[in-house]
A and B are shown apart, each in its own frame.
Chain A
Amino acid sequence: MTSTLTIKGLRVEVATKEVLRGVDLTISSGEVHVIMGPNGSGKSTLAHALAGHPGYKVLGGTASIDGVDLLTLSASERARHGLLLAMQQPLEVPGVRPIDLLEAAGADPTDLRVRMRREAERVELRPDVLERFVNVDLSGGERKRAEVVQLGILRPKFAVLDEIDSGLDVDALGAVARRLAEATTEWGCGILAITHFRRLLQELTPTMIHVMSEGRIVTTGGPELSEILERDGYEPFRAAST
């Protein structure tokens, strides 16, 4: 069944500053949408606001999966409706093990450890890392891969990836990108990836690329847009927004 994530006119405030000023975006199952843009343009704010981060205040707009507005739901209900955020800086949760987290999050407990190991291997993460407490004493790159393991187990309808590629070396990046690409076909995962780098997109082919500037999406195009961005930078698009 095809699902759709529809974001309409989303406006979000952080510490009394309006950071998102009307974002519109539609993603269907199996599609890969990429958001690029300069620092401070609102990319991470979009990710956090969708996942219900307590520091972000929604001023207006909707973000719905198949007609259910996520913004009226608690953070956990949003995840249960099929949205999962892979964080830029996944938090340490001392005393909580990944397997207990996943079970509490609704993962089928049957063979869970086996599936976690399999997912870890797919992103070249040492499986014993998942026996420790969530993200505690993990390197930046290990945390990113651990997020992708969670994604592989929880199989969300839509995954928001906030700079999943930062902190990963080239090999790990390739493995993560392949795993994500497979997710789009395995269960039709729709992906919204925030990134600064084209490298991720070599193995995770985007359906569309969006350029964000000053809290709005200012340009949308196909995969070729990333080449233009690499050549010309964001400056021409920034100008286009004013």
Chain B
Amino acid sequence: MKIFADSATSYIAERPDAHERQLAWTAFEVAGLPTTSDEVWRYAPLGELELDRFDVSRAPLARDDSAFAAQLGERAGLVVRVVDGYCTSAGEGVDGVNVEIDQSNQSLAGGTFTSRYEHDTFAILNAALAPATTVIRVDAGVNVAEPIVVLHVANATSAFSRTQIVLGRGASATIVEYFEGGANALVVPLSEYRIGENAVLQLITYQRLDVTAWHVGRTTGFIERDGRLRQAVIGIGAHYNRSRNDAEMLGAGSENELRTTFLGSGHQVHDFRTRQLHLAPRSRSTLLSKGAVADESRSIYTGLIEIEKGAKRTDARQTNHNLLLAPSAHADSVPNLDIRENDVMCAHASSVGPLDELQRWYLESRGISREEAERLMIQGFFYEMLATLPSELAAIVEREVTAVLAAVNVVAP
């Protein structure tokens, strides 16, 4: 670990907030990379992660956006570009929306990123190496009509982007965080969302990195009284796709709807982790994870619902369906519940298996071949994720997903 460490420490030394970053870097060095004997990293191909393949970039590498990113941008009300972790464009002004570059290293949970994420090796790396935090603020009471797109592009061999989205009381917005690039790169994004009282954030996280990328992402929603976070996470790219999506229901009546989906092909590993933390009464969480693995790919879903004492009349539901598209593909599902309050509704279900036979027959009975019916149904996993998007934006993502699916070898088991 020399090239990477040298580039990291010299990068940190040049930053005005070097002291704070050094704390994070030291914490990273002390902890070292996790190993597969660590339960939460059990399924990651960490043996293949050679950090010296990457170095820390001191400036964003300019490159033209992909045609797809350009299309997304055309359909957005505001485009924020983040290249290799650097916010290179904050977009044109939209009333009630402010984009800031923040160097304070403060987590939306309070305290520094280093203290907040001290037990998460990759988040700590982000704390040490992200150039800054890109903060999108939506003022109280503002209803942002058109979607905001955050284009995260990884052109260098490493990208540590950090994003915060803050919705004031009663605000609402639809935001897409889109990730592309990342060929032979380490991509470690960290995002935090604060949803104020009665605010509604519809969020799509679309990860479409190169299949050689290592992606270790983490998002956390902090939801206040009667606030609502509807998040859809779509994972298609990366060699190793780690996606941790947490929500903390802080206020009474707060709500989190999380849908995650993935398509595995080749030798990909999709490693999804979720944590729904209920801290307040009448809070609700609905989690639906649906994914498909083809070829020799594998997926892991690990979900935790935690309900604290006092979070009375909480309603928490977790469902995980995994679809095997090839005999050598593999899926694991590990649901967990941790409940310290009696007066709650809590349910979880998980399954690994083929597609619903009757739904498939229904399609076939219209004259659709079995292969085409299966393709439509798998494509449907993704289309469902996009239901919260305006249709003109959903349509281009759907087209892209469809093109990816067309290239995947679907073998009915």
Q: Which residues of A contact B (CB under 8 A)?
A: 51-54, 74-76, 78-80, 84-85, 87, 90-97, 100-102, 104-106, 133-134, 150, 154
With A and B bound together, what is the CA distance between A84 and B368 in angstroms?
12
Pull 19 A–B residue pairs with CB atoms less than 8 Å apart, ordered by A: A51-B365, A54-B361, A74-B370, A76-B365, A76-B366, A76-B369, A91-B358, A91-B359, A91-B362, A92-B359, A93-B362, A93-B377, A96-B379, A100-B376, A104-B372, A105-B367, A133-B380, A150-B366, A154-B367
List A contacts of B368 (CB < 8 A).
76, 79, 101, 104-105
Residue of B nearest to A51 (CB): B365
Residue of A nearest to B384 (CB): A95
- CB <8 Å contact, B384 and A76: no
With A and B bound together, what is the CA distance between A80 and B376 in angstroms?
18
B11 is an interface residue with CB less than 8 A from chain A:
no
Mostly, the B contact residues are helix
- CB <8 Å contact, B384 and A133: yes
- CB <8 Å contact, B380 and A76: no
User: Which chain B residues (307-365) contact chain A, with CB distance < 8 Å?
Assistant: 357-359, 361-365
Q: A76-B370, A154-B366 are in contact. Are A104 and B376 (CB under 8 A)?
A: yes
- CB <8 Å contact, A95 and B362: no
- CB <8 Å contact, B367 and A80: yes
With A and B bound together, what is the CA distance between A66 and B94 in angstroms?
65
With A and B bound together, what is the CA distance between A97 and B380 in angstroms?
8
- CB <8 Å contact, B359 and A93: yes
List B contacts of A53 (CB < 8 A).
361, 365
Q: A76-B364, A80-B367, A104-B363 are in contact. Are A95 and B358 (CB under 8 A)?
A: no
With A and B bound together, what is the CA distance between A84 and B363 in angstroms?
11
Indicate the member of A52, A90, A95, A101 with the most B CB atoms within 10 Å.
Answer: A95
Least distance between B54 CB and chain A CB atoms (Å) = 37
- CB <8 Å contact, B383 and A84: no
Residue of A nearest to B385 (CB): A95
With A and B bound together, what is the CA distance between A106 and B364 in angstroms?
12
Residue of A nearest to B391 (CB): A131
B382 is an interface residue with CB less than 8 A from chain A:
yes
List A contacts of B357 (CB < 8 A).
54
With A and B bound together, what is the CA distance between A94 and B365 in angstroms?
17
With A and B bound together, what is the CA distance between A31 and B383 in angstroms?
40
B206 is an interface residue with CB less than 8 A from chain A:
no
List B contacts of A74 (CB < 8 A).
364, 369-370
Residue of B nearest to A90 (CB): B362
- CB <8 Å contact, A78 and B365: yes
Select one of B362, B367, B382 contacting A106, CB under 8 A: B367
Q: Bits for B382-398, please: 1 = Cβ < 8 Å to A, else 0.
A: 11100000000000000
- CB <8 Å contact, A96 and B380: yes
List A contacts of B361 (CB < 8 A).
52-54, 75
Select one of B367, B373, B384 contacting A94, CB under 8 A: B384
B381 is an interface residue with CB less than 8 A from chain A:
yes
With A and B bound together, what is the CA distance between A133 and B367 in angstroms?
18
Select one of A85, A97, A100, A102 contacting B365, CB under 8 A: A85
Least distance between A136 CB and chain B CB atoms (Å) = 9
List A contacts of B370 (CB < 8 A).
74, 76
Indicate the member of B357, B365, B382, B383 with the most A CB atoms within 10 Å.
Answer: B365
Least distance between B238 CB and chain A CB atoms (Å) = 23
What are the nearest 6 A-B pairs in CB distance? A95-B380, A79-B367, A75-B364, A105-B366, A105-B367, A76-B364
With A and B bound together, what is the CA distance between A74 and B366 in angstroms?
11
Q: Bits for B232-247, please: 1 = Cβ < 8 Å to A, else 0.
A: 0000000000000000
List B contacts of A94 (CB < 8 A).
380, 384
With A and B bound together, what is the CA distance between A51 and B372 in angstroms?
18
With A and B bound together, what is the CA distance between A92 and B362 in angstroms?
9
- CB <8 Å contact, B377 and A52: no
Least distance between B70 CB and chain A CB atoms (Å) = 25
Select one of A95, A105, A154 contacting B379, CB under 8 A: A95
With A and B bound together, what is the CA distance between A156 and B362 in angstroms?
16
List B contacts of A90 (CB < 8 A).
362
List A contacts of B367 (CB < 8 A).
76, 79-80, 84, 105-106, 154
List B contacts of A95 (CB < 8 A).
377, 379-384
With A and B bound together, what is the CA distance between A149 and B382 in angstroms?
26
Least distance between B309 CB and chain A CB atoms (Å) = 36
List A contacts of B366 (CB < 8 A).
76, 79, 84, 101-102, 104-105, 150, 154
Q: Bits for B56-91, please: 1 = Cβ < 8 Å to A, else 0.
A: 000000000000000000000000000000000000
List A contacts of B364 (CB < 8 A).
52, 74-76, 79
Q: A91-B359, A91-B362, A105-B367 are in contact. Are A97 and B383 (CB under 8 A)?
A: yes
With A and B bound together, what is the CA distance between A5 and B363 in angstroms?
22
List A contacts of B382 (CB < 8 A).
95
List B contacts of A106 (CB < 8 A).
367
